[in-house]
Amino acid sequence: MFQERLEMMYPQETQWIKESFDRDGYVLIRSFLSAQEVEVVSQQVNKYVQEVLPTLDHKAAMYDDRSNPDTIKQIPNLEEHDEFFNSLLSSDRFVKLAELMLDGLVNPIDIQWFDKAPGKGKPTPPHQDGFYFMLEPNEAITMWLALDEVDDDNGCVRYIPGSHRMGMRSHGRTDLVGFSQAISDYDVADREMEVSTRLSPGDLIVHHSMTIHTAGGNTTSDRHRRALGLVYYSQRAQQDKSRFKAYQETLTAELVEQGKL
Nearer to ligand AKG, 93 or 213 (CB): 213
Nearer to ligand AKG, 14 or 244 (CB): 244
Asked if 124 is part of the footprint of ligand AKG (rule: CB under 6 A), the reply reads: yes
Q: How far is the CB of 142 from ligand AKG (least distance, A)?
A: 4
Q: How far is CA 206 from CA 32, 82, 228, 241, in A?
A: 11, 23, 12, 25
Asked if 144 is part of the footprint of ligand AKG (rule: CB under 6 A), the reply reads: yes
Q: Which of 44, 71, 138, 142 binds ligand AKG (CB under 6 A)?
A: 142
In angstroms, the CA 136 to CA 131 distance is 11
Q: How far is the CB of 232 from ligand AKG (least distance, A)?
A: 12
Q: How far is the CB of 127 from ligand AKG (least distance, A)?
A: 7
For every residue of the chain, which 3-state class applies, written as one string? CCCCCHHHHCCCCHHHHHHHHHHHCEEEECCCCCHHHHHHHHHHHHHHHHHHHHHCCHHHCEECCCCCHHHEEEECCHHHCCHHHHHHHCCHHHHHHHHHHHCCCEEEEEEEEECCCCCCCCCEEEECHHHHHCEECCCEEEEEEECCCECCCCCCEEECCCHHHCCCCCEEECCCCCCCEEECCCCHHHHHHCEECCECCCCEEEEECCCCEEECCCCCCCCCCCEEEEEEEECCCEECHHHHHHHHHHHHHHHHHCCCC
Pairing between strand 157-159 and 213-215?
antiparallel
Nearer to ligand AKG, 7 or 70 (CB): 70
Number of residues interacting with ligand AKG: please give it, by CB under 6 A: 10
Q: How far is the CB of 11 from ligand AKG (least distance, A)?
A: 28
Among positions 34-73, residues that touch ligand AKG (CB under 6 A) are: none
Q: Which amino acid is at 19?
A: E
Annotate each residue in 166-205 with x if it binds ligand AKG (CB under 6 A) or - if it does not, as one string.
----------------------------------------
Asked if 113 is part of the footprint of ligand AKG (rule: CB under 6 A), the reply reads: no
Q: How far is the CB of 68 from ligand AKG (least distance, A)?
A: 19
Asked if 129 is part of the footprint of ligand AKG (rule: CB under 6 A), the reply reads: yes
Cβ atoms 59, 164 nearer than 8 A: no
Asked if 232 is part of the footprint of ligand AKG (rule: CB under 6 A), the reply reads: no
Annotate each residue in 149-168 with x if it binds ligand AKG (CB under 6 A) or - if it does not, as one string.
--------x-----------
Nearer to ligand AKG, 5 or 251 (CB): 251
Nearer to ligand AKG, 5 or 190 (CB): 190
Binding stretches for ligand AKG (CB under 6 A): 114, 124, 129, 142, 144, 157, 213, 215, 227, 229
